[in-house]
Amino acid sequence: MARGPGTRESVTIMAVNIPENIARVQERIAAACARSNRRREEVRLVAVSKTHPAESVRAAFAAGLRDFGENRVQEAQSKRPPLADLEITWHMLGHLQSNKARLARELFQWVHSVDSLYLANKLAQAAASDAARLPVLIEVNLGGEASKAGVRAGEVPGLAEQIAQVEPLDLRGLMVIPPFIENPEAVRPYFRQLRALAAEIEARKLPNVSMRELSMGMSHDFEVAIEEGATLVRVGTAIFGSRE
């Protein structure tokens, strides 16, 4: 095959085709669901748009996505005005400082990163009395990494019991960002552990607690996560390209 001029070729290779990337991710999600005898509707694709401009979100929306995730309140805020015409469900994925709870409550319809009762209460207080309920997940630090947010596995049942009583929050499940390991197979035990922890809490039949949602799996390991029960996969790079 004849090669074109070097520079032009590399530009073509680097260009990110968001609709095509989404189509490929959707195929991989469908295949992972088929392998694990799950229905496609059980898995929600959350497109992680952090560091990418509002136009990229618009392109992904046009390609059919409705759930988007960000990890910084400020950045999320700056992207809202140009996207105000789109019906998007926004997911907060990053560590949330309690002094940003009020703003986060305005900007997001889901919070995946609740890691204390204090934060849960702040999110609850930030809501107007007639506000919609807020689905939340507890972020679990399964790797015990000091650099990562989230609560240790042993503390999750107690925290779940407390958050269950905070109105108008709806505790729906757990979220994990496992230690980064290149080989997705090596991440599988963490996903299993998250599912087991959710099942253990569900079995206690705490009032107002449903642990159905498992937010796990990113660009390099979402297929393994789906095989292990993920209901929310958070995919950035595989849709929008790299973030450097």
Ligand X SMILES: *Cc1c(COP(=O)(O)O)cnc(C)c1O
Q: Does the footprint of ligand X cover residue 210 (CB under 6 A)?
A: no
In whole angstroms, the minimum distance from the beta carbon of 8 to ligand X comes to 28
Among the candidate windows 12-20, 28-36, 189-197, 230-238, which touches ligand X by CB under 6 A?
A: 230-238
Give the residue at shortest CB distance from ligand X: 236
Among the candidate windows 1-9, 20-28, 149-157, 231-239, which touches ligand X by CB under 6 A?
A: 231-239
Burial of 126 (0-12, 13-18, 19+ CB in 10 A): middle
Q: Does the footprint of ligand X cover residue 43 (CB under 6 A)?
A: no
> Which is nearer to ligand X, 52 or 127 (by Cβ)?
52
Question: What are the two backbone dihedrals, phi and then psi, of residue 164, each rounded to the nearest 5 degrees?
Answer: -60, -25
Question: What are the two backbone dihedrals, phi and then psi, of residue 86, each rounded to the nearest 5 degrees?
Answer: -100, 140
In whole angstroms, the minimum distance from the beta carbon of 216 to ligand X comes to 9
Specify the residue for token string 């207080």.
125
Q: Are residues 93 and 48 in contact, defined by beta-carbon separation less than 8 angstroms?
A: yes
Q: Does the footprint of ligand X cover residue 237 (CB under 6 A)?
A: yes
Applying the rule CB under 6 A, the residues between 55 and 94 that interact with ligand X are 71, 93-94
In whole angstroms, the minimum distance from the beta carbon of 234 to ligand X comes to 4
Applying the rule CB under 6 A, the residues between 95 and 154 that interact with ligand X are none
Q: Are residues 214 and 198 in contact, defined by beta-carbon separation less than 8 angstroms?
A: yes
> Which is nearer to ligand X, 164 or 172 (by Cβ)?
172
Output the CA–CA distances (angstroms, integers) from residue 36 to 91, 211, 232, in the order listed: 26, 20, 16
**Which tokens go with 84?**
């105000």
Distance separating alpha carbons of residues 138 and 215, to the nearest angstrom? 10
Among the candidate windows 13-21, 141-149, 165-173, 232-240, which touches ligand X by CB under 6 A?
A: 232-240
Specify the residue for token string 């907060």.
92
Instruction: Using CB under 6 A, list all residues that contact ligand X.
Output: 48, 50, 71, 93-94, 177, 218-219, 234-238
